[in-house]
């Protein structure tokens, strides 16, 4: 599966959701996740993210491995919040794009 990682937190640009053929993105307050059981590994979303936050699970950057489990867990928790259409990014997205270690800010 593909995984949404750290740089999505506090940015949530949502360009990714538009291209997913199986609509497997789920939304929380300041982060999105991919349901790994629904993702068909098409890779279409990866280049769409302006924050480069999406990786194949084999290529998740070192130190961000916990996001693999987090996408599985939160896609269940946020199952009612399927998102398929782009909306405005979070207001401070540009300032937060590229800031390291944003897991501490992830809201549930
Ligand atoms: Fe959807 Fe394809 Fe991205 Fe998986 S890799 S989340 S199926 S767009
Ligand atoms: Fe997040 Fe990038 Fe999608 S910032 S919402 S993974 S376009």
* CATH number of the domain enclosing 35: 3.30.70.20
Best residue among 18, 30, 32 to mutate for probing ligand 2, ranked by most atoms within 8 Å of CB: 32
Stated pTM of the model = 0.98
Reported ipTM = 0.98
| 9 within ligand 2 shell (Cβ under 6 A) | no
Is residue 54 in some structural domain?
yes
Candidates 100, 101, 106, 91; CA nearest to 27 is 106
What mean pLDDT do residues 14-41 have?
98
List the residue whose alpha carbon is closest to atom 8 of ligand 1.
Answer: 20
Is residue 97 in some structural domain?
no
What mean pLDDT do residues 7-22 have?
98
Is residue 72 in some structural domain?
yes
Query: How sure is the predictor about 55, in pLDDT bands with cuts at 50, 70 and 90?
Result: very high
Is residue 28 in some structural domain?
yes
| 15 within ligand 2 shell (Cβ under 6 A) | yes
CA distances 79 to 51, 70, 74, 104, Å, are 24, 13, 8, 22
Mean pLDDT (the chain) is 98
Q: Which two tokens stand for residue 83?
A: 């998102």
Is residue 100 in some structural domain?
no
Is residue 16 in some structural domain?
yes
Tell me how far apart the alpha carbons of residues 84 and 87 are, in angstroms, rounded to a whole number. 9
Is residue 101 in some structural domain?
no
- Write out the residue range of the structural domain in which residue 29 sits: 2-86
What length is written for the chain? Answer: 108
Best residue among 3, 8, 26, 43 to mutate for probing ligand 2, ranked by most atoms within 8 Å of CB: 8
CA distances 4 to 15, 26, Å, are 13, 11
């Amino acid at each position: 599966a593909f995984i949404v990682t750290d740089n999505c937190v506090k940015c949530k640009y949502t360009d990714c959701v538009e291209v997913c053929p199986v609509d497997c993105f789920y939304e929380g307050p300041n982060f999105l996740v991919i349901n790994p059981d629904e993702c068909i590994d098409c890779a279409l979303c990866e280049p769409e993210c302006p924050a480069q936050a999406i990786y194949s699970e084999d290529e998740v950057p070192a130190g961000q491995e916990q996001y693999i489990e987090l996408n599985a867990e939160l896609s269940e928790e946020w199952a009612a919040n399927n998102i398929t259409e782009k909306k405005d990014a979070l207001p401070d997205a540009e300032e937060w794009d590229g800031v390291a270690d944003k897991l501490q800010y992830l809201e549930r």
